[in-house]
Structure 1
Amino acid sequence: MTILQIDWNPAPEIFKIGSFAIRYYSLMFVFAFMLGLYLMKKIFINEKIQIEKLDSLFIYTVVATLIGARLGHFLFYDPEFLIRKPLEVILPFRFSPKFEFTGFAGLASHGAAIGVIIAMYLYSKKVLKKPILFILDRIVVPVALGAMFVRLGNLMNSEIIGKPTNSNYGFVFKRLGEDFPRHPAQLYEAISYLVIFGILMFVYWKTDKKQRSGYLFGLFFVLLWTVRFFVEFFKEAQVEGREDWIFGLNTGQVLSIPLILVGLYFMFKKNNKG
């Protein structure tokens, strides 16, 4: 072992009672949503929005994130499972070969993004009574921090692993029965998302960019999906045969490109004073 090589073998479960287990991955989601709620409260106070409307925002966001990410995973990466076992897609249980609590393992960030945008449209119309870009420009700040926690959860689960480094540098994922180091791609993304969070916090609190409708939302999309695009070069393909899906790009990269373009549009569109 060298100082640049880490034997990685944490138990994914904090504790287990029968088939029910509390996992680090689930705990990371709790951290993400709780800190997100705290940050949005600060933003609502700053924007002089009724705090009572925060409860609805929390519910909309949690439900949209879980449903969107879950459906996105199976639509983009495993559509056959969605057709064969639709109930196991939307419920945190496995029914065969025996009943078992599984949690929501198998979540796709692209699906979560679509789900949250749809939810924010409904929230802006039914509760907030403001344009959808107003809430999107603000919710992306805590979402960036939440993305960091999700990737830390992936690291604790030893999933979404990186490619072999072919050197003494990297993480050896002992839980997978391996003895060679891989790129800690989950950590690359987590650190990048923390930096993006810092950038968005600075732009929101220290500049007047939040007055430009869609700018923060666009900046978030450009930064996050660009990071995702480049980190994918260090990841193993999540679906066999998808490492060279279109033009030598894998699924995650192909799905990221249109979202980067969407972000650029909102950053540089004309007449974007809101």
Structure 2
Amino acid sequence: MLPLLSIHWNPDPVIIDFGVFALRYYGLLWIVGLALAYFIVRRQYRDRRIGDDKFEPLFFYCFFGILIGARLGHCIFYDWAYYKDHFVEMILPFKQTAEGWKMTGYTGLASHGGTLGLIIALWLYCRKTRMHYMDVLDMIAVATPITACCIRLANLMNSEIIGKPADVPWAFVFERVDMLPRHPAQLYEAIAYFLFFIGMVWLYKRARTYHRGFYFGLCLTEIFVFRFFIEFLKENQVDFENGMTLNMGQWLSVPFILIGIYFMCFYGRNNATAR
């Protein structure tokens, strides 16, 4: 029996289909999330009086770092059994079907891989611009939660990463999956990340000087602690997780939580960030 107030959810993930190309909510929300982060970080660069010549390459590094890391993270950690025999599909946004190759976009992206890819890309960026690595990580960290929020809204529009069956009045029935009322886990995460973003901006606007690495550590800690616990309300994404005490998302969250706590509480306490 469905809860009285359950929400039937079945939006078309395609906004406009141009034939050879389709504009999807997933891609659009990714672009919105990155664009918001772009303007937020640009404002921080100007606050610190850092020239545009150093800011301009940043988006390139962030975009490809996140995309490559998120794609490889999904393929390696969640679906290696398939992609080890379909290497081209891992790299290119195409899938081999009975009718031939079809452009599908990247149908699997993992946030843990995206985070690692971003960290590596920013290291390369800092080598080129000679900026302090932790200063850049701190600025990116302020904007990261709003991008994460948009990505989870994209998952919601795709009816993916669904929650476990629930009898709460706000349960969603993801009709593309089944007719069971479930926790809207994607929406829980989107709301949490939006609140984290408001908190980060509030801390930044207070104009208080924190030690280098504080925002980076806070961002990792709050996002991946929440991610660890929200996984208990989610369905496992792949079959091999069914026999695990903690699922893959939780195991991958643990090192990020430990790194976050270290940078938030211990790293660089005698080396304040200039504001």
TM-score range (shorter-chain normalised) is over 0.9
Distance in 2 (alpha carbons) for counterparts of 1:183 and 1:257: 23
Does residue 109 of structure 2 align to residue 107 of structure 1?
yes
Corresponding residue of 2:5: 4
Distance in 2 (alpha carbons) for counterparts of 1:63 and 1:160: 23
Corresponding residue of 1:264: 261
Query: Are the aligned partners of 1:19 and 1:100 in contact in 2 as well (CA < 8 Å)?
Result: no
Corresponding residue of 1:118: 120
Distance in 2 (alpha carbons) for counterparts of 1:270 and 1:224: 19
Distance in 2 (alpha carbons) for counterparts of 1:202 and 1:180: 39
Distance in 2 (alpha carbons) for counterparts of 1:168 and 1:202: 32
Equivalent residues in 2 for 1:22-61 (5 A)? 22-61=23-62
1:38 CA drift (Å): 0.9
- Is the deviation greater in 163-172 or in 186-195? 163-172
1:52-94 Cα deviation digits (max 9, x unpaired): 3222100000001110000000111011223111111111112
Distance in 1 (alpha carbons) for counterparts of 2:146 and 2:267: 29
Query: Are the aligned partners of 1:236 and 1:243 in contact in 2 as well (CA < 8 Å)?
Result: no
Corresponding residue of 1:228: 227
1:36-61 Cα deviation digits (max 9, x unpaired): 11111111110101123222100000
Give the root-mean-square deviation of aligned CA atoms. Answer: 1.5
Query: Are the aligned partners of 2:3 and 2:168 in contact in 1 as well (CA < 8 Å)?
Result: no
Distance in 2 (alpha carbons) for counterparts of 1:270 and 1:168: 44
Query: Are the aligned partners of 1:243 and 1:249 in contact in 2 as well (CA < 8 Å)?
Result: no
SS in 2 for 1:99: strand
Corresponding residue of 2:183: 183
Corresponding residue of 1:255: 252
1:3 CA drift (Å): 6.1
1:231 maps to amino acid: I
Equivalent residues in 2 for 1:156-171 (5 A)? 156-166=157-167, 168-171=169-172
Query: Are the aligned partners of 1:203 and 1:209 in contact in 2 as well (CA < 8 Å)?
Result: no
The change in CA–CA distance for 1:2 and 1:95 in structure 2 (over 3 A counts) is closer
The change in CA–CA distance for 1:235 and 1:255 in structure 2 (over 3 A counts) is same
1:19 CA drift (Å): 4.5
1:269 CA drift (Å): 1.2
- Is the deviation greater in 224-233 or in 97-106? 97-106
> What TM-score does the superposition give when structure 1 sets the normalisation length?
0.94
1:212-251 Cα deviation digits (max 9, x unpaired): 1111100001100011011101100011130442xx1111
Corresponding residue of 1:215: 214
Distance in 1 (alpha carbons) for counterparts of 2:26 and 2:268: 42
Distance in 1 (alpha carbons) for counterparts of 2:56 and 2:25: 25
The change in CA–CA distance for 1:243 and 1:209 in structure 2 (over 3 A counts) is farther
Distance in 2 (alpha carbons) for counterparts of 1:271 and 1:69: 29
How many matched pairs?
269
The change in CA–CA distance for 1:72 and 1:270 in structure 2 (over 3 A counts) is closer
In structure 1, the gaps of 5 or more residues are: none
Corresponding residue of 2:195: 195
1:267 CA drift (Å): 1.2
2:111 maps to amino acid: S
Query: Are the aligned partners of 1:222 and 1:259 in contact in 2 as well (CA < 8 Å)?
Result: yes
- Is the deviation greater in 107-116 or in 87-96? 87-96
1:86-106 Cα deviation digits (max 9, x unpaired): 111111112343111111120
Corresponding residue of 2:70: 69
SS in 2 for 1:267: helix
Corresponding residue of 2:149: 148
